[in-house]
Amino acid sequence: MQRILILGGTGEARSLAAALAEDPAIDTVSSLAGRVRDPRIPAGVVRIGGFGGEGGLAEWLQHNRVDAIVDATHPFAARMTENAAEAARRCRIPLVVLRRPEWTPTPGDDWRPARDLAAAAALLPDLGARIFLTVGRQGVGAFADLPALRFLVRAIDPPAVDLPARSTLLLARGPFTVSAEIALMQRHQIDVLVTKNSGGDQTAAKLHAARDLGIPVVMIDRPPLPRASATVGDVAGALDWIRSDR
């Protein structure tokens, strides 16, 4: 039996675990970082909590027979992806990175690219006064030094860092509808949307809403991927890789 470690926390990771659960020749272990208070649990064996960095993951791999690793973490979980790539190299275990495609602008979009959170924060004073911030709870602190702006901060769990002085916190989990996003932006008189280029359908409605309302979007670029055995863009590609000779 082939044993696969899925580094998860995304919809793609859950879909992959569900598909592999139907295969009697494959045993899976899904690992969740534990940063979300009420995570959606995938099929199969699940472990929750970090490994303790690259060294901790390498040690875990050495004590648990694993034939291959699928990194299906969030596109912005750069540290975990780097740790996985290095641990896989050290332990000589094949690794595939599963990343959904990026969002791309369409006619009518007004996107302002930013290389990181700090660059995004620097753009805001010239764009508007009321900001819809959807960068995850760990990234909110990058905007705390903008006291003149008012923020609507949406996250799944409460941020563990200081919020901007003038902010409203909205706890919610996607998927969202375009009509609901339009209503939300209108109710809070939003001037600018700030988001990470996560891709996928779960939260894409905010981009459609911003386009319909003529609101500029500060789009934060994904971090670069480290060298991996392979990179695929969907669950089908990951399944093909797992079932190949590699």
Instruction: Determine the longest span between alpha carbons in the chain, in angstroms.
Output: 59
Same domain? For 229 and 214 the reply is no
Q: Is residue 71 part of a domain?
A: yes
Q: What was the pLDDT predicted at 226?
A: 85
Give the CA distances from residue 235 to residues 73, 93, 134, 151, 155, in Å, rounded to whole numbers and listed in that order. 13, 20, 25, 35, 26
Q: What was the pLDDT predicted at 109?
A: 97
Over residues 116-130, the pLDDT tens digits come to 999 999 999 999 999
Instruction: List the Cα angle 231/109/164 in 5-degree steps.
Output: 85
Number of structural domains the chain divides into: 2
Over residues 144-176, the pLDDT tens digits come to 999 999 999 999 999 988 899 999 999 999 899
CATH code of the domain in which 9 resides: 3.40.50.720
Q: In whole angstroms, what is the distance from residue 124 CA to residue 47 CA?
A: 40
Same domain? For 142 and 44 the reply is no
Same domain? For 78 and 171 the reply is no
Q: What was the pLDDT predicted at 229?
A: 64
Residue 155: give the domain boundaries: 111-220
CATH code of the domain in which 152 resides: 3.40.50.150
Predicted TM-score (pTM) above 0.85: yes
Q: Is residue 106 part of a domain?
A: no
Q: Is residue 149 part of a domain?
A: yes
Query: End-to-end CA distance of the chain, in Å?
Result: 16
Name, in order, each residue with C-beta under 8 angstroms of 79's C-beta and a sequence gap of 6 or more: none
Q: Is residue 172 part of a domain?
A: yes
Helix (H, G, I), strand (E, B) or coil at 214: coil
Q: Is residue 230 part of a domain?
A: yes
Q: What's the whole-number average pLDDT of the chain?
A: 94
Same domain? For 53 and 81 the reply is yes
- Of 129, 62, 67, the residue nearest 93 (C-alpha): 67
CA-CA-CA-CA torsion for 6, 10, 11, 13, nearest 10 degrees?
-10
Same domain? For 213 and 229 the reply is no
Q: Is residue 160 part of a domain?
A: yes
Over residues 199-231, the pLDDT tens digits come to 998 899 999 999 999 999 999 999 998 876 689
Residue the block writes with tokens 């495609």: 101
Q: Is residue 26 part of a domain?
A: yes
